[in-house]
Amino acid sequence: MGGAVRAVSLQSDFAAIAREGGRAALVTVLQGAVPGTRMLVRPDGAQEGSLGDAELDGAALAAAEDLLWAERSETLQVGDTLLFVDVTHPSPRLIVFGAVDYSAWLATLAKVTGWRAYVVDPRGRFATRERFPDAEDVLVAWPGKAFEQLGGIDKATYIAVLTHDPKLDDAALEIALRSDAAYVGAMGSRRAQEARRERLIALGMTEEEMGRLAAPIGLDLGALTAEETALSVMAEVVAVRNGRRGGRLSEASGGRIHEVGA
């Protein structure tokens, strides 16, 4: 009886986290072991409850920690036991540096696709709510301070640097490329990218850190306008989040087509 009560309590805790827009994973035994047994896993790795076996708990914890940041739910077979890892998470977060026209359209596309966009620029005359009505928030701050105000950078943070100001670009990238961010992209021509690379290397960035940078940012859509450019950036971000390269579906060789429908 006690185990059943505890399982219900964990389900209630998980539901409360979901309502508050938090992040957690609830692992439930579907078949094998003791069906209905649950374990709650939080973003810091804290574990509540047990599936009744240390080896099973370990496998469930490892899977939950991965799926928490991949932001998807999955079934998991561990020996003779079938588990369901149910993940709840806030809407994905995109931090955009540069209060430019591209950023306004990117914030709009982010909102309509269920993302939360935050626009950052230390220039208060440009970084206003009026110019970015679809952004979750607009921060007038330098990158270091902005990241602090946004609660830091986690594995589910996506960062787009869209200014052409080396002082702002480099300050944002120096932090972002050394963080746990899932994606870091920067706008600029190939010539500008090479100059940026030289500056960042001079600041002590390693080749491994530089290899994390998606630049030029976006997918090759042949974009000509600010709207189309924002679309190419948003498309790349969504592709990265879903573990895709962003090619044409008509040329894809297999795998899931769309999450809804066939």
DSSP class per residue in 159-215: EEE----HHHHHHHHHHHTTS--SEEEE---HHHHHHHHHHHHHTT--HHHHTTEE-
Tell me: the pLDDT tens digits for 102-117? 999 999 999 999 999 9
pLDDT for residue 189? 86
Predicted TM-score (pTM) of this structure: 0.87
* Distance of alpha carbon 117 from alpha carbon 13, whole angstroms: 28
Residues 6+ apart with CB under 8 A from 38: 6, 7, 10, 11, 26, 27, 28, 29, 49, 51
Query: Residues 153, 180: contact at Cβ < 8 Å?
Result: yes
Cα angle value 27/87/255 (rounded, 5°): 105
Q: Which residue has the higher pLDDT, 217 or 254?
A: 217
The amino acid at residue 254 is G
Measured in whole angstroms, the distance separating CA 170 from the mean position of its chain's CA atoms is: 21
Domains belonging to the chain, first-starting first, are 2-88 (no CATH), 93-241 (3.40.50.720)
Per DSSP, 249 falls in state G
CA dist., res. 27 & res. 121, Å (int) = 41
In three-state secondary structure terms, 260 is coil
List beta partners, residue 161. Answer: 97, 186
The string of pLDDT tens digits covering residues 34-81 is 899 999 999 998 999 999 899 999 999 999 999 999 899 999 999 999
